[in-house]
Structure 1
Amino acid sequence: MDPSGGAGIQADIQAITSLGGHPLPVVTCLTVQDTHNVYGAEAVDAQLIRQQLQCLDKDITIHAVKTGALGNAAIVAVLKDFLDSQDDELPLIVDPVIKAAGGGDLADDELVQAMKDKLFPRAEMITPNGEELTQLGGSDDADQAALNLLQAGCRSVLATGGHGTGIHITNTLYNHSPEPMHWEVERVGSNEYHGTGCTLAAAIATGMASGLSARASISQAQNYVHRTLLHALSVGQGQRIPDRGILWER
């Protein structure tokens, strides 16, 4: 949970709602952060999260699951147990949050390994940015890093380009097809934004929850994120925040 309102579960709630979905927010990690960086984080008790998931599952039909900063390996184990109780076709979008854009850590080695072992093989898609892809895939070459993740059990890897440079942002989908797919959109401004990765992954999950294919969900999500950046908000002295409250024509 980001108290600046720029990233994390607040970003998910706003994006999902804007795209016509209904979010079921389960907070996994409380942070100390602002629009500059993350300065501290504390995981929520894993058994409380287990109770929340069980309670929701008894009452509401769940159409997709999206993860963000998970807090610790115990929470990953709880989430894995929950997913094992669901239909194998329930889409899981994993945004493997390791570091904040400002450089602050949000995952230790144990948590990263737990995600790789227990969530990545189950996920429909993981959505690492460039730095996360390098760390998770063990290579500075994006293609090789993605291939390493696919060989380790990932179904698909969407390498996001928002933290790069250049006049265009390129998001690249790697799966077990012969060639990766690319989505390109004009970069808005020259600065990084706070919460774009959360917004993109949540928008993809919303598309899949509504029945769109993975490719159609990526296209819709990228267009949505681009529009939120065109209207980005300066709420603090650091990074600007996507305006996820914009009206979205569906």
Structure 2
Amino acid sequence: MDPCGGAGIQADIQAITALGCHPLPVLTCLTVQDTRNVYNAAPVAAELIGEQLACLAADTPIHAIKTGALGNASVVGAITRFLDLHPGIPLIVDPVIKAAGGGDLADAELITRMRGDLFPRAEVITPNGIELALLGQSDNPPSAANTLLQAGCHSVLATGGHGEGAKIINTLYRSGQAPTQWSITRVGGEYHGTGCTLAASIAAGRAAGLPLEAAIEQAQQFVALAIGHALAVGQGQPVPDRSVRLES
């Protein structure tokens, strides 16, 4: 949870709602942060998360799952146990490791558990450039993505919001297939919570029955529109306005 409302669960709720789906929010990590950086974080008890997931699944159909900052390795365990009981639900993993301001949101044990247990269960993971280099152990994006695919990832959407150049280019890597790219015009600077918004929007598209590529296309259009109406919430990065609606 981001108390400044720019990223995390609030970003997910707003994006998912804007795209016509109903979110079922389960908090996994509480943070001390603002629009500039993350200063502290604490995981929610894994047992409580497991109880929440079981309670929700017994009451309502779940059509997609998106994860963000997870807090610690025990939380990964709670999520994977739930996934094993409910196979077939599309899982979108935003592998949150560092805040845009540089603050850490994952330790080595958590990263290891995500790589070994969570990523192979995901339909797609959505690392930014910094996360991709760390997770794939290479500064070369195709090489890093290939390392993750060989380690069990089904697909890797390398996001380009932290890069440079006139275009933001997002690249989908899958084993045995040529990469697929999407691009939007880069608006100067970085924005707080764009990665959360993109991953949540992909999950909303998949929940609505869109194929993965169509869900990514819709998500990118939504993020671009939200950035175009960004809000100056604090003294740091602007926050995408996720109250916007895509035209039918």
> 1:40 matched to which residue of 2?
40
1:55 is aligned to 55
Q: What residue in structure 2 maps to residue 195 of structure 1? A: 193
Structure 1 runs of 4+ aligned residues shifted over 4 Å read none
Aligned to 1:122: 121
1:246 shift after superposition: 1.2
Q: How does 1:124-163 map to 2 (within 5 A)?
A: 124-163=123-162
Partner AA of 2:104 in structure 1: D
TM-score of the superposition, structure 2-length normalised?
Answer: 0.99
Q: d(CA) in 1 for partners of 2:28 and 2:197?
A: 17
Distance, in Å, in 2 between the alignment partners of 1:182 and 1:50 is: 36
Shift of 1:178: 3.1
Q: Where do residues 223-238 of structure 1 align in structure 2 (5 Å cutoff)?
A: 223-238=221-236
Amino acid at match of 2:74: A
Give matches, 1:16-95, under 5 Å: 16-87=16-87, 89-95=88-94
Q: C-alpha separation between the residues in 1 aligned to 2:176 and 2:92?
A: 19
SS in 2 for 1:120: helix
Counterpart for residue 183 of structure 1: 182
Which letter does structure 2 place at the counterpart of 1:169? I
TM-superposed CA distance for 1:148, in Å, is 0.4
Question: What SS does the aligned partner of 2:66 have?
Answer: strand
Find the residue that maps to 1:121 and give its secondary structure.
helix
1:205 corresponding residue in structure 2:
203
- Cα distance in 1, alignment partners of residues 130 and 245 from structure 2: 32
- Supply the distance in 2 between the matched residues of 1:6 and 1:178 (Cα, whole angstroms): 35
- Distance, in Å, in 2 between the alignment partners of 1:161 and 1:110 is 26
Residues 144-190 of structure 1: CA deviation (Å, up to 9, x unaligned): 000000000000000000011111000000002331011011012x2
What one-letter code is carried by the residue in structure 1 that aligns with 2:198?
Answer: L
In percent, how many aligned pairs have the same letter?
A: 64
Q: Aligned pair count?
A: 248
Once residues 81 and 236 of structure 2 are traced to their aligned partners in structure 1, the CA distance between those partners, rounded to angstroms, is 38
- In the alignment, structure 2 segments of 5+ residues that lack a partner are none
SS of 1:203's equivalent?
Answer: helix
- Paired with 2:239 and 2:60, the residues of 1 have a C-alpha distance of 31
Cα offsets for 1:177-217 (capped at 9, x unmatched):
331011011012x2100000000000000000111001000
1:249 deviates by: 2.6
Matches within 5 A, 1:235-250: 235-250=233-248
Q: Which residue identity does 2:132 align to in structure 1?
A: L
Distance of 1:247 and 1:207 partners within structure 2: 14
Deviation of 1:96 (Å): 0.1
